[in-house]
A and B are shown apart, each in its own frame.
Chain A
Amino acid sequence: MLKVTIDNIPIDVEDGTTILQAARMIGGKVVPPAMCYYSKLKGSGGKCRTCLVKVAQSSAKDPRPIPKLVASCSTPVQDGMVVQNLTSPEVVEARKAIVEFLLLNHPLDCPVCDQAGECDLQDLSFGYGMEETETVEERREFPATDIGDKIKLHMNRCILCYRCVYAADQITGKRVHGVLYRGDVSEIGTLIKQAVDNDFSGNMIDVCPVGALTDKTFRFKSRVWFLKPMNAHRDCPACAGKVTAWLFGEEIYRVTGRKDQYGELEDFICNECRFEKKDPGDWIIEGPRHIKRQSVISANHYERMKKQSIILPIAGKMEDQF
């Protein structure tokens, strides 16, 4: 076991644990945000740089600090390592800068984006972003395209975290999409707009931290915070069949995998469960799923809405949801 201290909280972890994993074991505020790392996808991480932390002491043997900030998702801990996340002003500054970079070319289309309310980038901006912007430069633009008949790609919103590429590579039968070109004009694409129609491709939507990949069977149907997330399962021959069904009244508006507090899926689900099974009769509903997130969709916000009993046209429905 190795001893590591993160923001003054000590914890013992196994050899090979990364700083981020150690922080997640502690939980709470010491956990750096992660936009590209995904524990279930091999090779992910290291790219977005939102998880940068300060290593104030490399190890018990070598008490020197690491001069540069390191990506906590891809740096293994050493015995006696001392890490600073929010206790380092340098880290807070750098994170602010990274958010600024990520937003630089991100369109301000949250009002029409299906991901709004459950978007990691929204959470991140809310948590670390600046209030004002200095940019006058035009944002880069790509036309929205279809990747197959079930998935919509809004490249404008993509933060190039590569998660969908790894997902397609590792959990679907054959990868037909990847990153094309380079630098700030690189894009996720299928080069010849080939359909992505293998059994598990829909998981790309769930691993996408932003609204770049969205579910065409759900597009523009409803804001996510008007929906009632329910744990549901069915006997599926292809996947574990454990999903979150998002209900509006009695209707299932969409089906996603079950996400944990870090936005990661507990199980990857198959396309049939995700796209085809929209009849409540297809599912055994287990009960409400509690969503632990910081942003709009978080319980906090609903509770406040309830307390102030905001009167909306659908207020009645809102009430019985929570």
Chain B
Amino acid sequence: MGGKILLANIDVPGIRGFDVYRETGGYKSVEKALKEMTPAMVNTEVTKSGLRGRGGAGFPTGLKWSFLDRKTDRPRYLVCNADESEPGTFKDRYLMQHLPHLLIEGLIISSYALGVNTCYIYIRGEFKYLVGILEHAILEARDHGFLGERILGTDYSLKIFVHPGAGAYICGEETALLESLEGKRGNPRIKPPFPAFKGLYGCPTVVNNVETLAAVGPIIVMGGEEYAKFGKGKSTGTKLISACGNINKPGVYEIEMGLPVEDFIYGAAYCGGIKGDKYLKAVIPGGSSVPILPADLMLSTAKGERRLMTYESLADGDFATGTMLGSGGFIVFDEDACIVRNTWNLAHFYRHESCGQCSPCREGTGWMEKVLFRIEHGQGKLSDIDLLVRISKNIEGNTICPLGDAAAWPVASAIRHFRREFEFHVEHPEAVKHINHGALPVSALP
């Protein structure tokens, strides 16, 4: 299938096992990298590919790797962030479940490039069933000489460990993850120092997302420049999008960056349109933390251009009229979805998941949730809406880690674009009790 890199062989029966994976060209990149390339050359290819972090922030991977402190004689670590707990995001799980060797392959080359001899996969606690799959893949790779001492007869050795978390969203934040990996309470650290200098056990560490690392294998095989031909502008390559909500075909899709949002929602190869032929009301395109956009702004930018699935196009208009690609958790709402209820639901999530370390996030997330609960249950006041905006502003930017922002943005954006619906909830407390799922499209509101 055209435009697929990561999931190109997903339909091959038995692809989860080593033998079939190897037959389809698996582990070629390891042979190529370890035998023909220096670590610096691998680094260069990754930089050339333009690959950007798929964990949410979209930070250029090559650049991140270049920050790693290589001067110390302390060990260096690579940590694969498989904590995937962002509501709406389920692409890493899919990848690990069906293509565990693609990840292992990426880990080996990345570790080689970074001069790492110990690598950890920190996996979300709820993904227990994946631990066995990954460990099995690790053993298979080891038995075939791709892991362990002196890989493929070279001087390079690598061990990979799988470490399950205990079910906290905050442990996806890279420094909280490192704390948790060290066996401590998963509180984010105060930065600086950044993990590139002081990460796991105080040693230089790189933390990357599953999808980011999985892409490194194909990049080495095809070459960075070739990879960069996929996609559009600074959004190179392909992206896994986990689509859910009121669509005909929820699931994980690999798209070439630059696909128009409209094609993604309505195309038969992707979401296949809105369920029951209803109208599209709104989309959260990048996991629950990114701003929600109403249908019109989702399909085209404020300038009237078609909105594309790229980091740049989705962010066009900043937060006033834009949003973010984030982790690629694409949540679609049809005309019947209640934005207030959804916002309350998300606020509830962030309240539950805040680590509680810093006061704006600990107190602010709880406060927003309580106010939204009242509004959703017909006990709100009009002033509550501005209060929510004020709380979200007071959290934003004032916290230790980005969870504070992630909690503030959904609330602020929902009010920015759907204020009328919040007001409706306040003004018609009786009505919303019966139609809690907001059977009214925004346009029909009085």
Residue positions of A touching B, CB distance < 8 A:
45-50, 52, 67-69, 71, 74, 94, 97-98, 100-102, 104-105, 134-135, 137, 140, 159-160, 162, 178-179, 181-186
Contact = CB atoms under 8 A, between A and B. Distances in A.
B345 interface: no
B394 A183 contact: no
Contacts of B170: 182
Interface string B365-388: 111001100000000000100010
A101 B363 contact: yes
Given A49-B399, A137-B371, 13 more contacts: A48-B359, A49-B358, A49-B360, A52-B398, A74-B190, A101-B359, A101-B363, A104-B366, A105-B366, A159-B359, A183-B353, A183-B356, A186-B362
Contacts of B366: 104-105, 140, 183-184
B367 A182 contact: no
B275 interface: no
B398 A97 contact: yes
A47 B398 contact: no
Given A49-B398, A49-B399, A179-B185, A98 B359 contact: yes
A76 B383 CA distance: 41
A175 B125 CA distance: 27
A71 B190 contact: yes
A258 to B, nearest CB: 28
B157 to A, nearest CB: 34
A51 to B, nearest CB: 11
B442 interface: no
A182 B383 CA distance: 30
A98 B361 CA distance: 10
Contacts of A94: 394, 398
A186 B356 contact: yes
27 contacts: A46-B358, A46-B400, A49-B358, A49-B360, A50-B359, A69-B398, A101-B360, A102-B359, A104-B363, A104-B367, A105-B366, A134-B383, A134-B387, A135-B367, A137-B367, A137-B371, A160-B356, A179-B185, A181-B356, A182-B168, A182-B170, A182-B354, A182-B355, A184-B354, A184-B363, A184-B366, A186-B356
Nearest to A186: B356
Contacts of B364: 101
B201 to A, nearest CB: 16
B365 A183 contact: yes
A220 to B, nearest CB: 29
Contact of A46 (B190, B367, B370): B190
A162 B185 CA distance: 13
B362 A160 contact: yes
Contacts of A105: 363, 366
Most chain B CB within a 10 A radius of its CB, from A48, A97, A98, A182 = A182
A189 to B, nearest CB: 13
Contacts of B354: 182-184
Assign chain B's interface to a size class. 20 to 34
B362 A183 contact: yes
Most chain B CB within a 10 A radius of its CB, from A52, A181, A184, A186 = A184
A178 B356 CA distance: 13
B351 interface: yes
B249 interface: no
B351 A100 contact: no
Contacts of B136: none
Contacts of A71: 190
A100 B399 CA distance: 15
A67 B396 CA distance: 12
A157 to B, nearest CB: 14
A47 to B, nearest CB: 5
A66 B172 CA distance: 26
Interface string B155-169: 000000000000010
Given A46-B190, A179-B185, A184 B356 contact: yes
Nearest to A103: B363
Contacts of B363: 101-102, 104-105, 184
A97 B359 CA distance: 10
Contacts of B185: 178-179
A184 B365 contact: yes
A186 to B, nearest CB: 4
B387 A47 contact: no
B359 A49 contact: yes
B397 A68 contact: yes
Contact of A100 (B352, B362, B394, B400): B394
B66 interface: no
B357 interface: yes
A-B pairs with the 7 shortest C-beta distances?
A97-B394, A184-B366, A186-B356, A101-B363, A46-B190, A183-B354, A137-B370
B234 to A, nearest CB: 21
Nearest to B362: A184
Given A69-B397, A69-B398, A98 B360 contact: yes
A101 B190 contact: no
A36 B352 CA distance: 23
A267 B427 CA distance: 59
A148 B352 CA distance: 30
B357 A184 contact: no
A50 B360 CA distance: 10
B264 to A, nearest CB: 32
A67 B398 CA distance: 11
Contacts of B357: 47, 160, 162
Contacts of A74: 190
Nearest to B350: A183
Contacts of B168: 182
B390 to A, nearest CB: 8
Nearest to B371: A137
Contacts of A185: 356
Most chain B CB within a 10 A radius of its CB, from A48, A49, A179 = A49
Contact of B398 (A98, A181, A184): A98
A183 B355 contact: yes
Nearest to B383: A134
Contacts of A160: 356-357, 359, 362
Contacts of B387: 134
Interface in B190-228: 190
Most chain A CB within a 10 A radius of its CB, from B185, B353, B359, B363 = B359
Contacts of B371: 137
B347 to A, nearest CB: 12
B358 A48 contact: yes
A116 to B, nearest CB: 21
Nearest to A165: B185
B394 A101 contact: yes
Contacts of A67: 397
